[in-house]
Structure 1
């Protein structure tokens, strides 16, 4: 969204020199903001790519979201101590002209708000507890609920299953033989293997960024009338 503007930035400024000097001044003043937001949107795009594909499930989605939220905290900490290399465009701007401390603090505050907001938006995913035996069938019985201990012992004693585990936990739990032999464990595991509506996740992520940017700006009429998108909308085929 912002990336195309960065390449011909000087050209845009030169054009506005004769067309609209006030707008030119505003664009030049916003260069640091443009660089920062361009880098940030690029990182959201990276998350978007990881949330695509037929193999996406709740386990993979939690991994991607948890990692991204953790990165937001690190980004803010690094910017706060003058480390800009995780934001290439912003780093170039800083090396060419420098960044005022108050501008850097505003970026750190924004990343902090974004981190807090996304933790709240995705708290259902972040709090999701995945039993160790779903990912590693030959895990220790320590900590395994009593309900599943007997089946897990039987599974670990079954030598014929070991070659089937090499294909990964997804293909393992989806085998009909596994569902028949270990129904309790299979019923739990399959809940984590359902396809996840990734477009909903990304929509919420970008909405979080734009919402924070417009925090002090009153909504337009069209924005006020826009209904909130929920996971159920995507499951119903709306998204």
Structure 2
């Protein structure tokens, strides 16, 4: 037989070939290819989270990675990174895959939630295109979860009216008054508004906390009026410092009083109802009376306020965490409370989202369809990279 006359090296080569095929069959090589694809996904996800251009992966990240590996592990190890696909098109495609996966997860979570709320706002990007951002808030695993939902192009732009214009009317009177004193007063007033603005910002805010802040402002304005009426200005430190003899003219005092009254009226006009229904129940059920609760939920309410376990955990949990944890045991009462806590109280998330949008969609990237990048950058839900990788095959950068 011809095979009997083959050299020993022939059989050795065949044995090595069979070993390689066997390794591939058992998944060793397949695992390596999967790691290569996963590396592409991990880099793409980091690019999206950091809101960087897609080209940075191939132009900067890959060369830097190769150089570090070369210095630490040698040229051969560094060359293996060439198998990781990080081209501009690859990064864009992967970000689209991850965005779709995150979107699917969020939609499924919203469907599973008994109730949800949305926040929407619009702005114009660098390409003068009107962009609509939408966030959602819903129940998920015993918490109220906030998530980026979508970014959509609008064919036309629109502007919102100002929530309050009382301050602007005060500037019209500056020419007839002592400018230094008025500027000092305005510094103090804007400091009060800045403090309010900070309290109204941030994630996980709700109507209760915002109502408390607005109530505090109205009470502060009332106190300011009382003190100004008797010539006391300790609530206006800048104005108090500028006053040489601690006295203010009756004309200027009246102007300040009128302005404070105008501010009070404007706030009450824009926020006519500062006590949401069932606010007391949501804030602290153990301080409420049975008559404060809807009749069909009163029996359940009595059980809750006599539940020593619930009473013990209430002080150590946030309102949203507490009520979400009570949903199964006390569904009717919890539903009333969650409906107070769930709605968005401001457009803070959308406003911060627009900052991210402008960071991503720069003048040099003004043709970019930004939704996928924005979802990967802003969503709290992470893409299921292992599942996505299992569906893909690796390919080298070109």
Q: TM-score range by the shorter chain?
A: 0.5 to 0.7
Q: Distance between the aligned counterparts of 1:99 and 1:37, measured in 2?
A: 15
Structure possessing the higher radius of gyration over alpha carbons: 2
- Residues 4-46 of structure 1 show CA distances to partners (whole Å, capped at 9, x for unaligned) of xxxxxxxxxxxxxxxxxxxxxx699411111111110010001
Corresponding residue for residue 88 of structure 1:
237
Gaps of 5+ in 1: 1-25, 201-239
Q: Distance between the aligned counterparts of 1:159 and 1:165, measured in 2?
A: 10
Corresponding residue for residue 137 of structure 1:
285
- TM-score with structure 1 length normalisation? 0.64
- TM-score with structure 2 length normalisation? 0.40
Instruction: Flag as ranges the 4+ runs of structure 1 deviating above 4 A.
Output: none
Q: Distance between the aligned counterparts of 1:120 and 1:57, measured in 2?
A: 20
Residues 44, 31 of structure 1: CA spacing in aligned structure 2 closer, same or farther, 3 A cutoff?
same
Corresponding residue for residue 302 of structure 2:
153
Question: May I ask how many residue pairs the two structures share in their alignment?
Answer: 172
Per-residue deviation, 1:75: 0.7
CA contact (8 A) 1:76 1:108 kept: yes
Three-state SS of the structure 1 residue aligned to 2:290 is: coil
Gaps of 5+ in 2: 1-174, 350-398
RMSD over aligned CA atoms reads 2.5
CA contact (8 A) 1:69 1:115 kept: yes
Residues 71, 130 of structure 1: CA spacing in aligned structure 2 closer, same or farther, 3 A cutoff?
farther
Residues 83, 183 of structure 1: CA spacing in aligned structure 2 closer, same or farther, 3 A cutoff?
same
Per-residue deviation, 1:98: 4.5
Structure whose residues are more often strand by fraction = 2
Structure whose residues are more often helix by fraction = 1
Q: Point out the more displaced range, 93-102 or 73-82.
A: 93-102
- Residues 33-64 of structure 1 show CA distances to partners (whole Å, capped at 9, x for unaligned) of 11111110010001111112223111100000
Specify which structure has the bigger relative contact order, considering alpha-carbon pairs within 8 angstroms and separated by 6 or more residues: 2
Residues 82, 54 of structure 1: CA spacing in aligned structure 2 closer, same or farther, 3 A cutoff?
same
Corresponding residue for residue 38 of structure 1:
187
